[in-house]
Every structure is written in structure tokens, then in C-alpha cells.
Structure 1
Amino acid sequence: MVLASPKPMRNETILPNDLIPIVDLKSERSEVIKQIVKASEEYGFFKVINHGISDGTIEKMEEAGFSFFAKPMSQKKQAAPAYGCKNIGFNGDIGEVEYLLLNANTSSIAQISKTISNDDPHSNFRCRVSEYTEAVKEVACEILELMAEGLGVPDTKVFSSLIKDIDSDSVLRLNHYPPTLNKDKSHSNNVGFGEHSDPQILTILRSNDVSGLQISLQHGLWIPVNPDPEALCINIGDVLEVMTNGRFVSVRHRAMTNSYKSRMSMAYFGAPPLNASIVAPPVLVTPTRPSLFRPFTWADYKKATYSLRLGDTRIQLFRANIA
């Protein structure tokens, strides 16, 4: 969702995938909290298993997504501006991707379903998207409340309440990366969606059984994230980095294509209402760790985000001037 410029690739080193933390949400609560906080501070990324979303809910959502992307281009274009292909954002960024971007609320899903599905008012597409979106939102809120508890924030709903708000700006994005059909396998991995961080609070990502996602730990160092049918991927977003006063890090990541099989990812971006003030809870601002960011609204940050290119640094625009 956020933004990378078509600039030359860096000299990169691919690191082993086994570095990625995996958190079992059904483990002992204090241990779960400890693991989530540690992963959020060190990586800005982790996987969760035993998350409570049924296989059926996930499978039906994937079926609905692949069914949409299998439609003729003329039909998919009827869903514009929710549907897009190649162009990412508004600043000339491109990728080997087509996508469907939906506001994550029941009325918006119902409205767009009329355009992209020829079914009756009880459209399978609408029902499947609504069911999946509500399920991932519940997981996102659970994780955010565990995070707040782990950080010692008295109001453990301080982060999750922004997503639960009726005016939440959360979205669901389906990214489809068709096979590149490259005969030369040595050059089959192309950038499908360039390096970026997510601007929202938290991202919950699920993909089919095709690899492609990579996260960046340091400049030039990348970790491939292998697909796992049992797990959901959790990305810390820019807003959560601000609201934890820099304790958590917003992970930079990218998606690569391959030559042999389509990859589809389903990303839920949990976001606050547009008018929400983005500030860290008082307990996370101390004399020894003053506020790293000046206050702003999600509308301010969203506007700044969409004015830049994919990969450009946005969060630094809101850094506080600390003497």
C-alpha cells in the first residue's frame, strides 16, 4: 500500500527465512505478550498461528479473490477505481501486480459487490469478503491489545479502539501477481510491488502457497517470508511506530514475482479515523525518552503518504525537533 520509486535495485543479500518470529496466540498469555513486543521492536514483523480464523473463511475469501482476477479485463475494469493494474498509487510507481482495494466496512463492501459480482443481493463475494474482514479485524484488535499490555499502557484498548471506531479508515487489499512466464529462470524474480512500509497501524497479511514476500531488516539485507497455510503475517505500520514513540518499528517490505504460478495476497490494513490524533500514550513519553514525533491526524499523514513515491520515507516528515 505505501509507496517505492523505480530506481536501481540495491546490492542485496538474501538471508534465511528461519529468522522470522512465530507467535502461537494460544500459548501462555504472558509469553505471547513478551514474544509480540520483542518481535515488534526488533523486526516490526512476525507470524501468528492458532489465530482463530477458520480454514473455511480463508479458503472462501481466496476463492472469491481468484474468481475476480480470472474475469476478463473488460469486466475487472468496471470495478475501477477499486480495481487497478500495473500502476501503484498516484505518482508513477509501477509493478507486476493487479489489485482490488476495498474499504473494510459492510456498506462499502456491499456497494462494490454490485459492480464486481453478477450474483443476487446475497452475493457470495459480498458475504465472503465481509466474513473475512470481520475475522481479521478481530485478530488485529486482539494483537493490538496484547501489545498495549506489553508496553505497560493502562488503557489496553488505546490502539484497537481506533480500528473498532465506526469511522475507521481500514481497507482490504487483494494483490494478484500473475506468473511472469519467463523462460529464463535465472531472471524470473522481478519486483511485483516495490520496497515500502505500510502507513496504517497494523497489517494482517495472508497469501496463497506461492513465495514472494520479503522483509528488510537493515539496509540491503532481505529475508524471504515463506508462505505458511497455518499462519498470518503481521506488519507494524508507520502509525503504530509513532504511537509507541518509536519502540516498535514499521517494517519495510516488498513482493517479488515468479515465473510459474500466480500469487495472491490478502492484506487487511487497520487504520484510524481520518480525524484521529496520532500521539503516543503519556506512559510511553518520558524525560529520558521524549516524544520523537509531533502530533498529527491520520488525514495529515495519509495526505503526505500519497504525495510521495513508493519507498520514499514519510514518517521522518513528522519527527519532533528535539534539542
Structure 2
Amino acid sequence: MSATTPTASIPTIDFQDFPSQSQKLIQTSVKWGCFRLINHSIPAALMAEMKATVRTLLDLPMEIKQRNRDVIAGSGYVAPSNSNPLYEGLGLYYMGSPEAVHEFCSQLEASPSQRETIVKYSEAVYNLAMDIGRKLCQSMGLDMDLFKEWPCQFRINKYNFTPESIGSSGVQIHTDSGFLTLLQDDDCVGGLEVMDEKSGEFVSVDPLPGSILVNFGDVAKVWSNGKFCNVRHRVQCKEAAIRISIAFFVLGPKEAAIEAPPELVDMEQPRLFVPFTYEDYRKLRLSTGLRAGEALALLRRST
């Protein structure tokens, strides 16, 4: 299962080519659970400014980074650990809240220009995520505002790759717990790999400057009644360099139960999972230690 294949590549979706891309979007969501998004709405200059800001924040002294406190477990600063010694990150729970964004900036003593960049980027990536949700529903023939008022989490990541760490794991195999992840990955340093569910092999996700990588998580698997792939992925150290990535997670409804819309359920395709809240699922993953989608098996309906 751990083999990596260099031949396959994940699909690319042109965001300005809808509805022509609608069928490809659904096929990609089912087969891969991830795709590269090009011609999206986040300006290239803003992406470059955000990467520079992130690099500066992650180079701050430890005592400042530790002010980035958890709102929920793992939502704040994460220091290198025994399980992920090459990784550290900063986080913001509920990026859709302007107040939370400004609190994050204050915790890290962001300069006025850095604060402006973070605010602009948070608005741009939030709006893009909402637009992806709308296009996804339109492509499936559903009339709904899918991600409206859902909590969204933000993580900025740094991988301290050294010559000695080449070939080792930067982040272990996992799925994302929420519905959707928008990732601005490093445009120079690779290492991200996603699993091809059919072959069980990992596929290298090579850098593509200016693009956004979109991943589906466990909530998407449940919401789609098992159709969408909750893609397993990892980060491997392939060169001695600092790797930076910026991730935006659309989690799940704040209080409502997660379940497939009625349009996706019928006699031939009965509901596969019991309804559950995102918070309960997050706690289930933490308590069981099942981080690669296996926890969903505990919530499947009995046949």
C-alpha cells in the first residue's frame, strides 16, 4: 500500500470553464477525491504575499507561536512531536469570522501589512470555498447552499526537511475529517502524495504554481452517501528544504447532523451512514486514533 507511482497524475479542473467541467468535477470527486484547481479567483499576487507572510510567522520565536492557543483540540499551534518531528503549524478555528482572524493576527503580533494580507487572503479563500460548494451542488443537480455558516479552519504548515530526513515522513497517512480542504501548497518543494484508491498506490502531487489543491474528507464521503472519495494522503521528505503550505478546511455543519441529502438516497442506494454531528465525529477520531477514514466504519448502518 505504501508504494508510490510516478506515472499517474491527479486531474485539473478549470474553474472558469463551468458548466462544461461539471461532469469532470463529479467523476474526479468519485475516483480521486482531489484535484488541482486552476483559473480560480484568488489573485496570484495575494497568494505570493500570503506565502511570504506565513514563512515569517512560522519563523517567530517559540514563545510567540505558543500564544496561538487551541479553540478545539489541535486548532492552535502544533510543535514538532515524536510522531511528526519535521512538522509544525499555526492554526485558526473558524476563519469565516473576521473577529477570529484579527485575534489570530494579534496573538502573533502581525504587522499592519501582514494583517492586511491575512484578512484579504482569508476572505478570498473563504469565498472560493463557498463557490466550489455551489458548483458541486449544481453539478449534481442539487439546489442548496451547501457550506453556508459551516465552521472553517485554517492551518499554516512548515516542514523542516534536512538532508538526514530525506525519505522519511513529514506527516503520516491520514484523511481530512471535514468536507473540503483548499490547499495552497509549496510551489517549489514537493512531497505531498495522495492514494489512488483503486490501486492502493500513492501518487506524487507535483507543485503547480498558482493552483489550489482541493481534497475531499470524511464528511464528504458521508454527505455523498459513499460516492465521493475521502482521499488518503501524506507528506514525504524528498529534498532538504523548508516546505510551506496553507490549508483551509470546510469542516461540517455547526450543530446539524451530517447525512446525505434525500436526492442521493433511494431503494437502490440506501443511506449508508447514521447521522452524526461533526463535533461528535471529531471526538471519535481523537478517541480511537483512527485518522485515515477508518472511523467511518463505526458509523455505517447495519445491512
TM-score, normalization by structure 1:
0.85
Structure 2 counterpart of 1:252, which letter? R
Assess, with a 3 A threshold, how the Cα gap between structure 1 residues 307 and 125 changes in structure 2: closer, same or farther: farther
> Are residues 1:15 and 2:9 paired?
no
Length-normalised TM-score, structure 2 = 0.90
Aligned to 1:196: 174
SS state at 1:133 partner:
helix
The corresponding residue for 1:171 is: 153
Evaluate the alpha carbon distance shift between residue 287 and residue 95 of structure 1 in structure 2; reply closer, same or farther with a 3 A threshold.
Answer: farther
The one of 57, 65, 88 equivalent to 1:76 is 65
Cα deviation, 1:64-123, whole Å, max 9, x if unaligned, reads 110011223333233344212123xxxx7434200001121211121122121153xxx3
Q: Does the 8 Å contact 1:15/1:224 carry over to 2?
A: yes
Task: State the partner residue of 1:228.
Answer: 208
**After the TM superposition, which parts of structure 1 deviate over 4 Å for at least 4 consecutive aligned residues?**
none
Further displaced range: 67-76 or 204-213: 67-76
* C-alpha contact 1:194 1:311 (8 A) present in aligned 2: no
Task: Give structure 2 stretches of 5+ with no counterpart.
Answer: 71-75
What is the rounded CA distance, in whole Å, between the counterparts of 2:264 and 2:114 in structure 1?
42
- Name 1:248's counterpart in structure 2: 228
Contact 1:17–1:226, Cα closer than 8 Å, also in 2: no
Letter in 1 for 2:87: V
Gaps of at least 5 residues in structure 1 are: 1-9
The higher-RCO structure (CA 8 Å, 6+ apart) is 1
SS at match of 1:195: strand
Counterpart position of 1:3:
none
Describe how 1:128-143 pairs up with structure 2 within 5 A: 128-143=117-132
The alignment partner of 2:214 has SS state of strand
* Cα separation, 2, equivalents of 1:268 and 1:25: 18
1:101-140 to 2 correspondences below 5 Å: 101-103=91-93, 104=95, 105-117=97-109, 119=111, 123-140=112-129
Report the Cα distance in structure 1 between the residues aligned to 2:122 and 2:8, rounded to whole angstroms.
Answer: 29
Q: How many residues align?
A: 293
Which of 182, 185, 189 is the matching residue for 1:210?
189
Q: Structure 1 residues 292, 199: CA separation in 2 closer, same or farther (over 3 Å shift)?
A: same
| Structure 2 SS opposite 1:307 | helix
Provide the residue aligned with 1:274 in structure 2: 254
